[in-house]
Amino acid sequence: MAARALRVRELTAEEEGEVRRVAHSRTEPARRVERARIVWLARSGRTAAVVGQALGLSTDTVRLWLKRFNAEGLDGLRDRPRSGRPATYTPEQVSEVIAASLTKPDTLGLPFGSWTLDRLTAYLHEEKGVPIKRSRLDELLLAEGLRWRQQETWFGERVDPAFAEKRGPSSRSTRRHLRIV
C-alpha cells in the first residue's frame, strides 16, 4: 500500500498573510519562522520530501508540522508546554521572598535599617523556613522587576538648598577666570 502524499490544507487569506509575514521575518523566533516556511513552501503543492530538502529538515519533521497546521491552524505552529524539572520554590515561597524584601527590616524588629542579600537570605531561612541561596534570591527579585540597590550619586541636586551660601567662596589659591565680553 503506497502512502498518500501529505498536502497542506487550503489557507484562509488571514492565515496566508500571517504565514507569509512569519516565514520572511527576521525578528520572530527561529523555530516559528522555520515552521511557517514549511507551510509556506508546502502551500504551492510541494511534497514533504521536497520541502524538507529545501529547508534542510527531515521528511518526518515536515510531516509533523504540516499535520499540526492542518489540524490546528496558526496555533499549531506554536511550541507546546514541555515537561521538565518542577519549580524549586512554590508560589507561596516566592511571595514570602518578595514580601520580606519589600518590608523594612526595622519594622520586623531586626537591628538594621536595610537589607543586604546575606541578611535577607538569613532571615528567610531562619524566620520563614525558606531555604534559599543568595544567588537564587537575586534571580527571583530580578524576575519580579525589583532592582536590589538604587544607584546613588554625589552629583546632581544637593540635599541642602543653601549649600552654596554655607560653603562660602572657593579656595583662595584658585585663579579667577576672566570673563570675555
Predicted pLDDT of residue 86? 85
CA dihedral 168, 169, 173, 177 (to 10 degrees): 160
Q: Give the model's pLDDT for residue 68.
A: 94
69 exposed, middle or buried (CB, 10 Å; 0-12, 13-18, 19+)?
Answer: buried
**Position 173 in a domain:** no
* Across 170-176, average pLDDT: 69
**φ, ψ at 83 (rounded to 5°):** -75, 160
Where residue 67 falls (left for φ over 0; alpha for ψ -120 to 50; beta otherwise) is alpha
pLDDT of residue 1: 39
pTM (2 decimals)?
A: 0.49
**HSE, side-chain direction, 13 A CA sphere, residue 61:** 15
- Cα 72–Cα 73–Cα 75 angle in degrees, nearest 5: 75
| Residues 17, 73 within the same domain | yes
pLDDT tens-digit series, residues 6-63: 788 888 899 999 999 999 999 988 999 999 999 999 988 888 999 999 999 999 999 9
Structural domain contains residue 148:
no
pLDDT at 57: 93
Angle at 11 between CA 10 and CA 17, to 5 degrees: 160
Give residues with Cβ within 8 angstroms of 119, minimum separation 6.
105, 110, 112
| Residues 73 and 17 grouped into a single domain | yes
- pLDDT for 178 equals 66
Residue 5: inside a domain, yes or no?
no
Residues ≥6 apart with Cβ < 8 Å to 164? none
Mean pLDDT on 58-87: 90
> Could you give the CA distance from residue 53 to residue 169 in angstroms, rounded to a whole number?
80
pLDDT at residue 126, as a whole number: 92
Average pLDDT over residues 67-83: 89
- Could you report the per-residue pLDDT of 99-152, keeping only the tens digit for each? 999 999 989 888 888 888 889 999 999 999 999 998 898 888 888 888 766 545
Domain count, the chain: 2
Instruction: Domain of residue 102: give its range.
Output: 91-143
Asked if residue 163 belongs to a domain, the reply is no
Task: Say if 132 falls within a structural domain.
Answer: yes
In this prediction, residue 2 has a pLDDT band, given cuts at 50, 70 and 90, of very low
Asked whether 35 and 26 are in contact (CB, 8 A), the reply is no
